[in-house]
A = this chain, B = another copy of it.
Amino acid sequence: MRMTIGVDIGGTKVAAGIADSEGRVRDVVTHPTPFGDGEALADVVGGVVRELRDGHADGAVAAVGVGTAGFVDADRATIVLGANLGLAEEPFKERLRRRVDLPVVVENDANAAAWAEVRFGAGRGSGHVVCVTLGTGVGGAVVMDGELQRGRYGVAGEVGHYRVVPFGRRCGCGNHGCWEQYASGRALVGEALDLARAEPKRAERMAQLAGGEAEDIQGREITAAAMEGDEGALSCFRAVGEWVGLGLADLAAILDPELFVIGGGVSDAGDVLLGPVRDSFARHVTGRSTRRLAEIRIAELGSRAGIVGAADLALR
């Protein structure tokens, strides 16, 4: 069985492991991510690759796949902009090739994780999948006809920055009304804070879980309270779920996938999130009375998805 090494470069740590062709990972190692220094980053990744190969026969490891934070160009070689890594126009594939005598592929980390879900996770068996990551912001990846769609310049799938409200909430991207201002983890926290200001009693349980102060409420407290059945927290998920479902309906109009896979921290709430999302999607999708509705599922692979997806992409 051919094995590949998957590397997941995040803003704080580099995680890597060896994966087989079934998406099973082992020997996971992590290192801190150096900031603003492409050579140092390549040293770390090169070192990790050597470390992982050590226990294996020559030729047992066929390739290296790297999923990295930031925008990656369409040639899957250059980190065009990686704000969290302090890098721009970084020829990372080239640097790594000088350190590792294996084929190397560099991919955006959201794409890598999405690919893992399509190959081995919630999207297994589906050829038309849109993955949406509801984290601090909203990211996405598009798989059509079994292929990851990167767009012409490598930045397809920036679904968090399509606009849902004209003149809406200000977004860090410079626009107003972007989907991620309504459907993200930050939006979920915003709902809880609004609730705490307007109707403090309904936010009490969330505040209690946060240590007593409403302003300390984070996503994890909202999720925990909602999973206990707390009505205030559930109302926050309903509000965000409405926007998530509405956005999926727009994406369905454009892309017609058979499946949406929802990941990211907000998706930890599982059915508490899925219920409102599916309900909203069914109400908003165009042609809803005649078309076959796409399914909506929660991502399955968790934090290892980045390694798994990068490793698998190295084989293609």
Contact = CB atoms under 8 A, between A and B. Distances in A.
Interface in A153-186: 153-159, 161-170, 173-176, 178, 182
Contacts of A284: 163, 175
Q: Which of A81, A142, A255, A284 has the most CB of B within 10 A?
A: A255
Contacts of A100: none
A144 B74 CA distance: 12
Interface string A189-225: 0100010011110000000000000000000000000
A156 B255 contact: yes
A248 to B, nearest CB: 11
A174 B197 contact: yes
Contact of A165 (B127, B158, B166): B166
A76 interface: no
A57 interface: no
Contacts of A153: 256, 258, 291-292
Of the four ranges (under 10, 10 to 19, 20 to 34, 35 or more), the interface on chain A belongs to 35 or more
Given A147-B145, A255-B151, A286 B158 contact: yes
B174 A257 contact: no
A284 B246 CA distance: 21
Nearest to A289: B198
B254 A159 contact: yes
Interface in A61-76: none
A150 interface: yes
Contacts of A170: 169, 190
Nearest to A294: B152
B258 A174 contact: no
A256 B168 contact: no
Nearest to A130: B254
Interface in A121-155: 126-128, 140, 142, 144-145, 147, 149-155
Interface of A: 81, 126-128, 140, 142, 144-145, 147, 149-159, 161-170, 173-176, 178, 182, 190, 194, 197-200, 246, 249-251, 253-258, 283-284, 286-292, 294
21 contacts: A127-B152, A128-B152, A152-B258, A153-B258, A155-B291, A156-B255, A157-B254, A159-B253, A159-B254, A161-B253, A162-B286, A163-B164, A163-B249, A165-B166, A165-B167, A169-B169, A174-B194, A174-B286, A175-B286, A198-B289, A251-B254
